[in-house]
Amino acid sequence: MGEGMTDAAQIIPQEARQRVTAPLEQAWTLPPAAYFDDTLFNLEVENIFCQDWVCVARAEQLPNPGDYVCVDLVKQPIVVARDMQGELHALSTICLHRAMPVVTGTGNGTRFVCPYHHWTYELNGKLRSAPMMEGVADFEPSACSLPRLALEEWHGFIFVNMDTNATPLSPQLTGLEALTEAYEFENLEIAETIEFDSPWNWKILVENFMEAYHHIGPHQNTFEPIYPARQSSIPDNDGAPWSFLHMPGVPHTEGQTSSFPNLPDDRRDDLFAAVVFPTFLFAASNQTGAWYQLDPQGPGEMHLKIHALVHKDMAPHMDAQGRAELRAGLTHVHAEDITVNQGPWRGLQAPMTDQGRLSLYEKSIWHLNQFWAKRLGF
């Protein structure tokens, strides 16, 4: 951080920073400004969203050559495309001419044609042609390319990183992989998706997703009887950029067939939730998985897609009723969570609000806070 530039330490007083980075037993939550301050959000964009791995798609969303999916990485619109050789590319969609997005939405095609002046790009981002540019000095279309992002596929999840020199992701996830491999994420596919505009800070949702302490609150009649808060546990992550929440269940699945043949019997009643920081959220029971795809757009703005994932052998056999039940289940639980996202979002902006103490059942929040503090340089 250069001389004269704002850094997080100038906005968050030293005492508040020390409360965040203290060992879990002594730790406090992030200060309220971490959730609504515009400067801190811009620092998150610069130091987290421009440098960390973000999950943007599932591989089965792009099964064929020419398939593409567009997503926004905060302010950066990107496209993930499968080229004719089957290779995946992640590219900025912004035209090299006058900044028009060359593609939006999802689809299949052999090239991207900018709607403005028809500059035409290959699926790997190379500029193939630019009409009426004769006589323009030192302009060689074949030397031009849409900016690339790093891309890694992890068990069917496609992660991208705007920092092409970033440390590869998979080696950082070996600990998480060991905890989740029985679920064979690569065999899942998206069965249903529900979408929400979520006008609150993205960290509020991540925190809520990663602790079972609140089962005794909004989920007292849904999760708490099956996955009691007090049984939940969160292993150490040794400073890696992920966290894992284990929610052992009271026996309730006897006679059910599990979607995951390699899931040990003693884990069949359990639920887990996992996060790869900053925003990859995933949960699974012995039947289905849920991927929460977050797209933060500002300190208090976020679009959320909740995808229900089922085993790929099961997906073709799902009838309309099964799908409706899947949607209803996710919608119901999320409605319970919305109340405890909206409330704190309002509360955090109240002038008399300060940091709060963390329960030991909220170790994942402490993990997030250590990640956040490290990225923001304190």
Q: Which residue's CB is nearer to ligand FES, number 84 or number 133?
A: 133
Element housing 121 (H / E): strand 120-122
Q: Retrieve residue 280's tokens.
A: 């990859």
**What are the tokens at 196?**
């929400």
**Nearest of 48, 108, 96, 102 to residue 73 by alpha carbon:** 48
Question: Could you tell me which residues come within 8 angstroms of residue 259 by beta carbon, excluding any fewer than 6 positions away?
Answer: 286, 287, 288, 310, 311, 314
Stretch that binds ligand FES, among 71-79, 115-123, 150-158, 269-277 (CB under 6 A): 115-123
Reduced to 3 states, what is the DSSP secondary structure of residue 306?
Answer: strand
Considering beta carbons, is residue 24 or 338 the nearer one to Fe ion? 338
Burial 49-66 (b: 16+ CB within 10 A, else e): bbbbbbbbbbbebbeeee
* Alpha carbon distance, N-terminus to C-terminus of the chain: 12
DSSP class of 256: P
Lateral strand order in the sheet of 280-284:
188-197, 301-311, 289-298, 280-284, 271-276, 242-247
**Which residues of this protein are in contact with Fe ion, per CB under 5 A?**
337
Q: Which does 100 bind (CB under 5 to 8 A by kind): Fe ion, ligand FES, none?
A: ligand FES
Number of residues that bind ligand FES (CB under 6 A): 8
Contact with ligand FES (CB under 6 A) among 17, 117, 303, 327: 117
The one of Fe ion, ligand FES, none whose footprint includes residue 98, by CB under 5 to 8 A per kind, is ligand FES
- Lookup result for tokens 């319970």: 336
DSSP secondary structure string for all residues of 131-170:
TT-TT-TT--GGG-BPPEEEEEEETTEEEEES-TTPPPSG
Binding mask of the shown chain, residues 336 to 365, with x at each position contacting ligand FES by CB under 6 A: ------------------------------
Least distance to Fe ion from the beta carbon of 334, Å? Answer: 8
In the complex, minimum distance from the CB of residue 98 to ligand FES, in angstroms, rounded to a whole number: 4
Q: Which is nearer to ligand FES, 65 or 141 (CB)?
A: 141
Residue 133 binds to ligand FES (criterion: CB under 6 A)? no
Residue with tokens 């250069």: 2
- Least distance (Å) from ligand FES to the CB of residue 91? 14
Query: What is the C-alpha to C-alpha distance for residues 167 and 65, in angstroms, rounded to an integer?
Result: 28
Helix (H, G, I), strand (E, B) or coil at 302: strand
What residues pair up with 55 in beta bridges, in sequence order?
159
Question: Site for ligand FES (CB under 6 A): which residue of 98, 252, 346, 357?
Answer: 98
The smaller minimum CB distance to Fe ion, of residues 206 and 376, is found at 206
Q: How far apart are CA 223 and CA 342, in angstroms?
A: 20
User: CB under 5 to 8 A by kind: which of Fe ion, ligand FES, none does 97 bind?
Assistant: ligand FES
Query: CB–CB of 205/273 below 8 Å?
Result: no
For residue 337, the partner it binds in ligand FES, Fe ion, none, with Cβ less than 5 to 8 A by kind, is Fe ion
Applying CB under 6 A, among 46, 63, 87, 100 the residue interacting with ligand FES is 100
Q: Contact with ligand FES (CB under 6 A): which of 119, 159, 272, 361?
A: 119
Q: Which of 22, 77, 97, 325 binds ligand FES (CB under 6 A)?
A: 97
Q: Which of 75, 110, 116, 347 binds ligand FES (CB under 6 A)?
A: 116
State the binding partner of 133 from Fe ion, ligand FES, none, CB within 5 to 8 A by kind. none
Binders of ligand FES among 220-249, rule CB under 6 A?
Answer: none
- Binding residues for ligand FES (CB under 6 A): 95, 97-98, 100, 114, 116-117, 119
